[in-house]
Amino acid sequence: MKKKIILFLLIFNILASVFAQKQDFDKKSEDKYQVQNGNLVIVGGGLKSDNSDVYNKFIELAGGKENAIIAILPTASASPQESLDNFKNNLIKYGVISENIHFIEVATIDDSSTPDIDESKWIKNSNEKKYCEILSKCTGVWFVGGDQMRITKALYNEDGSNSEVLNSIWKIYNNKGVIGGTSAGAAIMSYAMIAAGTSYGALSQGITTDYYGTEQQENGPLFFSTGLGFFNHSVVDQHFDAKARIGRLVVAAMNVKDSISLCYGIDENTAIIVYGTENKIEVLGTGSLTIVNTSKAKITKNGEYYNYENIILSNIEGGDIYYYEKNIFEINKIKSLTTGNEYFNIPTPVQSGILVSYPTFKDLITINLIDNSGTKEVVSYSFDSSMTGFKFVFSKYEETLGYWTNEPDGNNHYSAINVLCNIYPVKIKIEDIKQ
């Protein structure tokens, strides 16, 4: 019997008309596949081969170097064979036995670098018994990066049911195995899956119901689709720092808030380790995890656009832990509290443009806000050539906490807990100062 979870999304097109639409995200697996006893390694893209923390954790959760039996799915990639080979080589580098690494040849697109193989025919393999037999012996599965829509197209049958390969992956997960993925392989972890769009496009144009290809990932409004749902407590976004996706994730989070109040943005070369039976997230890697909490947030119409208010943001990094069921943070003990002991005292830090000394989203809410006694809020503007844009207001309040260390490498390492975020549409007018 199929069990369905219906997430009610407010689908709106700001530039034309505003309307409400219910979008269904089906739990397409049998009840027994929803136990979720396993663990997840979700990487925000750009995983470097020298990121030993992430590779070793994935291998550990799969049973260790000698016992791990790992299947790699190249389905998202435009170069399936190359992606398979690269990840296999990295696993071997970190000690996995070569014979224990298996390729699951399921793909939707041909790799031009392999003229003797038409990988687009691999889509037929998603119900092949031989791949299910391979997966039945595996303790871990890895999804490479690319286009997340290729993964769901390949692993769901045309009628929306699970393919046999997907059912086999669920069995691994619920037998205390590990499912991992990077970039597109991270996006598919949730049921409500972000598949395309930019931050500015999502804030200015809302959500589209049309998808026309990979190029849409870097352009236009937000596009939602249905993921695989291994991490069904969330919506996951990736390349979060490099592609400035805070606006995109906020719009996504506000549109699923009736069902999901926590959404996650993962930086490149960074992983969140989700321990399913403990409801716990551990951060590993060089970047950070941004948590968007919409439990008290609201959205209101403002002319052609919307105000997003009372969004609570937290940003944690390697060594920090988050218990998502209880909303409890466990910050790395090497960090000291900045609250009440701020290093900076800058009443009016420059927050927009090329003169910003610490220009990233993380810098804005850490160096300029939580570690700065001179102000209780910072404001940043983003706008296009028409001078239409959005004002981001980040504020401290009674529950805001900051932590800092420069260990072990001498660089700044911050964690920011409970920063208030409001986003407002604006029309920018710039005039030269005339004497």
Domains of the chain, start order: 37-302 (3.40.50.880)
Q: Which sign, positive or negative, has the C-alpha torsion 285, 186, 264, 361?
A: positive
Query: How far, in Å, CA of 258 to CA of 84, rounded?
Result: 39
Residue 430 tokens, joined = 């710039």
56: closest CA among 90, 97, 85? 90
DSSP 370: I
Query: How far, in Å, CA of 62 to CA of 384, rounded?
Result: 46
For 227, phi then psi, to 5°, come to -90, -165
Q: At 112, which helix (H) or strand (E)? A: none
Q: Which sign, positive or negative, has the C-alpha torsion 55, 56, 57, 58?
A: positive
CA atoms within 13 A on the CB side of 287: 24
Query: How far, in Å, CA of 386 to CA of 404, rounded?
Result: 39
Buried b (16+ CB within 10 A) or exposed e, 77-101: bbbbbebbebbbebbeeeebeeebb
CB 382 within 8 A of CB 408: no
> What percent of the chain clears pLDDT 90, i.e. is strictly above it?
76
Query: How far, in Å, CA of 260 to CA of 311, rounded?
Result: 13
Residue 199 tokens, joined = 């931050």
pLDDT in tens, the chain (435 residues): 333 333 333 333 332 322 233 344 444 434 444 567 899 999 999 999 999 999 999 999 999 999 999 999 999 998 888 888 999 999 999 999 999 999 999 988 888 878 888 888 888 899 999 999 999 999 999 999 999 999 999 999 999 999 999 999 999 999 999 999 999 999 999 999 999 999 999 999 999 988 887 778 788 999 999 999 999 889 999 999 999 999 999 999 999 999 999 999 999 999 999 998 899 999 999 999 999 999 999 999 999 999 999 999 999 999 999 999 999 999 999 999 999 999 999 998 877 888 888 888 999 999 999 999 999 999 999 988 889 999 999 999 999 999 999 999 999 999 999 999 999 999 988 889 987
8: closest CA among 259, 203, 294? 259
Residues 6+ apart with CB under 8 A from 363: none
Largest CA distance in the chain: 79
Please name the amino acid found at residue 321: I
